[in-house]
Structure 1
Amino acid sequence: MTEPDLSWLSSGRYVSDGGLETDLIFHRGVDLPEFASFPLVEDAGGRELLRRYYDRYAAIARRAGAGLTLESPTWRANPDWGVRVGYGAAALARVNTAAVDFLHGLREEYADLDDVRLIGVVGPRGDGYVAGQWDDPDDAAEYHRPQVAALAHAGADLVAAYTLTTPEEGIGIVRAARSAGVPVLAGFTVETDGRLPDGTTLRDAVERVDAEDAPDGFIVNCAHPTHIAPGLTDGAWRRRIVQVNPNASTQSHAELDAAETLDEGDLDLLTSSYDALRPLLPSLGIVGGCCGTDARHVAALWGVGATERQSTRTRV
């Protein structure tokens, strides 16, 4: 088997998107049961809504002279969450494949950009705001293997796991990706103290996953830069982090989970605190946002100016 060329990952500058689900819910008025956006790829109206969403980030990449990563809307497309919105195993395989197929079409539309990479997104089995209960990485690998295999078979350039709360789940997803023959990034979220929700330090989580089954890089997402900073203790391990997608808000996960309105945060604080992370992360090459962020936030992180506020509400 030919080894995939990952030189783009280590040497590039790539725009990632923002908080897809919070943007759709709060700015577009879209009903997303169980925070699941993947069903949108199954009808023309949903695909058009997603296309307009990704178009904004393609525009940022053009202004920044950067590449673009297109992350599939499949964060919830795993068995436990899928069944809650009426998707069994066969339907999940179909929709994960359809999500990557949709991104292939967008990549053709964005052919003028420096480079476009397709990322098959995997989320945690549990709630990304609450520590998971995995004890055995092999159990996690078995659980995530069908989704990872579907994303790989559909032609994702790599699989990325976002908002993981335990090292065990990270190890399991890496093992699932290796069995599917696809590159993989393992992504953790942290609490306000820079530790994973299960109490593990970010350094220990990265080093443990690397020692067991090293991924092709690490992500930190779904936390404000001021929450990530305490976890970035000295050490060569920080070179393993290639992507950071922060929340807009400085609220804790518990506060965000209880909130009924969207906290879009302080844009100046977001950009200044993110800039403070950059010297600590020499391999950082993919920059985007997470909960509460939209194209305005990501444009600001790239220093290309604010985009228009998206206020039109479209129900799907």
Structure 2
Amino acid sequence: MVKIFTPAYGTALEAMGVPNNHEMSSAAVFREAGWRALLQELTDDYVRMGQRDGKCIDGIMTHTFRCSPHFVNSHVYDFNRLAADVALSARERYGNREMKVFGVVGPMGRDCYDPSQAPDSVKSIMEYHHPQVEALKKAGVDGLWPETINTVREGKALVALAKDYSLPVYLSFVLDKEGLGNVRNGTSFSEAIKEIDSMTGAYATGYLANCSTAGNIKTMLELVPKDGLGHRIGGFYPNASNTDPGILDGCDGVHQDVPVKDLVGFVKKAQQDYPGIRWDGAWVSGCCGYGKDLEELVVAFK
């Protein structure tokens, strides 16, 4: 059975009146008590989505995608702690002990679709992300969840950091704009898995794709099992739009080309079409453009 985690926060918070064009980007929510209250309300609603007969979602993501040094400077520790507290509080009140809280980490740079913003040195990338990973570990998250990662070198750095901190980790890549099912920097998804597994002793629990079109994710799901690596796929969560995410970056809202009912069908068909992937325990959800409407996905698989 697939596992479901909370959908993206950014577009949902925008709809609730929280601006996303601040210099701190989505991390600005932690500057105002009223905005933090809206984040808590949204997280609580996410955790309660589709609950019935003791069944509920399986994972909560912290709203820390932009809580990194580039965006929040000296606030790395307090903002990540506040975000973890929101997720842990929602689990305590509305979840259960089996529900995992994952600490989300975004890529370096302001444009998460530009691979050139990550330096060539894995060590330098590790040094950049170290404060946030340490803050999330101290805040009590159950695991690390780097997402929208656009280069293999940054993937290596983040899995290595998770290993250093003994944090379970799932690593999620954003895919190429050509629709070939590759990592954003052009490396094949299978090669990315091989390189990172080789460096880290296959420490990552699984690899995912997010913030990409459903069509591009489908291509990735077709290709990776052919290389004998289907068992390393840990799930996926596409955008609601069929437009490349690099074009959408910075836009207000995301047009929903793929309604939730179609996402449900996409997940079901993927399980049928790609038996080489380890679907039992794979994580699925929705990225940009989805919100509380994702309850339909929870109901379908819980």
Does the pair score TM above 0.5?
Answer: yes
2:253 aligned with 1:237: no
Which letter maps to 1:294? G
After TM superposition, give the deviation of residue 73 of structure 1 in Å. Answer: 0.7
TM-score under structure 1 length normalisation: 0.82
2:114 aligned with 1:130: yes
Q: Does structure 1 retain, via aligned residues, the 8 Å contact 2:47–2:90? A: no
Q: How do 1:1-150 and structure 2 match up within 5 A?
A: 13-25=2-14, 27-32=15-20, 33-34=22-23, 36-41=25-30, 43-63=32-52, 65-82=55-72, 88-89=73-74, 91-111=75-95, 113=96, 115-126=98-109, 127-132=111-116, 133-150=118-135
Check 1:235–1:276 CA distance in 2 against 1; reply closer, same or farther (3 A cut).
Answer: farther
Check 1:184–1:302 CA distance in 2 against 1; reply closer, same or farther (3 A cut).
Answer: same
Unaligned runs of 5+ in 2: none
Which letter maps to 2:269? A
What are the superposed Cα offsets for residues 98-131 of structure 1, whole Å, 9 maximum, x if unpaired? 22123222221024x4722111110000222222
Check 1:277–1:136 CA distance in 2 against 1; reply closer, same or farther (3 A cut).
Answer: farther
Question: What is the rounded CA distance, in whole Å, between the counterparts of 1:128 and 1:154 in structure 2?
Answer: 25
Query: Could you tell me which residue of structure 2 aligns to residue 301 of structure 1?
Result: 297
Query: Could you tell me which residue of structure 2 aligns to residue 209 of structure 1?
Result: 196
TM-score under structure 2 length normalisation: 0.85
Check 1:35–1:156 CA distance in 2 against 1; reply closer, same or farther (3 A cut).
Answer: same
Question: What is the rounded CA distance, in whole Å, between the counterparts of 2:265 and 2:2 in structure 1?
Answer: 19
Question: What is the rounded CA distance, in whole Å, between the counterparts of 1:28 and 1:92 in structure 2?
Answer: 24
Q: Does structure 2 retain, via aligned residues, the 8 Å contact 1:13–1:67? A: no
Q: Secondary structure at the match of 1:282?
A: coil
| Count of aligned residue pairs for this structure pair | 285
Q: Does structure 2 retain, via aligned residues, the 8 Å contact 1:134–1:166? A: no
Check 1:273–1:35 CA distance in 2 against 1; reply closer, same or farther (3 A cut).
Answer: farther
**What is the alpha-carbon root mean square deviation over aligned residues?**
2.3
Q: Does structure 1 retain, via aligned residues, the 8 Å contact 2:173–2:210? A: yes
After TM superposition, give the deviation of residue 147 of structure 1 in Å. Answer: 0.6
Question: What is the rounded CA distance, in whole Å, between the counterparts of 2:59 and 2:25 in structure 1?
Answer: 20
After TM superposition, give the deviation of residue 153 of structure 1 in Å. Answer: 1.1
Q: Secondary structure at the match of 1:220?
A: strand
Determine what percentage of the aligned residue pairs are the same residue.
27
Q: Does structure 1 retain, via aligned residues, the 8 Å contact 2:24–2:71? A: no
Which letter maps to 1:211? S
Q: How do 1:188-267 and structure 2 match up within 5 A?
A: 188-191=173-176, 192-213=179-200, 214=202, 215-232=204-221, 233=223, 234-257=226-249, 259-267=251-259
After TM superposition, give the deviation of residue 30 of structure 1 in Å. Answer: 1.5
Query: Could you tell me which residue of structure 2 aligns to residue 272 of structure 1?
Result: 265
What are the superposed Cα offsets for residues 118-167 of structure 1, whole Å, 9 maximum, x if unpaired? 11110000222222443222221111111101100111100110000011
Q: Does structure 2 retain, via aligned residues, the 8 Å contact 1:122–1:160? A: yes
Check 1:53–1:260 CA distance in 2 against 1; reply closer, same or farther (3 A cut).
Answer: closer
After TM superposition, give the deviation of residue 31 of structure 1 in Å. Answer: 0.8
Unaligned runs of 5+ in 1: 1-11, 83-87, 306-316
Question: What is the rounded CA distance, in whole Å, between the counterparts of 2:251 and 2:83 in structure 1?
Answer: 29
Q: Does structure 2 retain, via aligned residues, the 8 Å contact 1:24–1:30? A: yes
Q: Does structure 2 retain, via aligned residues, the 8 Å contact 1:221–1:244? A: yes
Check 1:114–1:158 CA distance in 2 against 1; reply closer, same or farther (3 A cut).
Answer: closer
Q: Secondary structure at the match of 1:263?
A: coil
Q: Secondary structure at the match of 1:164?
A: coil
Which letter maps to 1:195? N
Which letter maps to 2:228? A
Check 1:104–1:79 CA distance in 2 against 1; reply closer, same or farther (3 A cut).
Answer: same
Q: Secondary structure at the match of 2:229?
A: helix
Question: What is the rounded CA distance, in whole Å, between the counterparts of 2:228 and 2:264 in structure 1?
Answer: 25
Query: Could you tell me which residue of structure 2 aligns to residue 163 of structure 1?
Result: 148
Q: Secondary structure at the match of 1:159?
A: strand
Q: Does structure 1 retain, via aligned residues, the 8 Å contact 2:50–2:296? A: no
1:292 to 284, 289, 293: 289
Q: Secondary structure at the match of 2:80?
A: helix
Q: Which moved more, 1:118-127 or 1:226-235?
A: 226-235
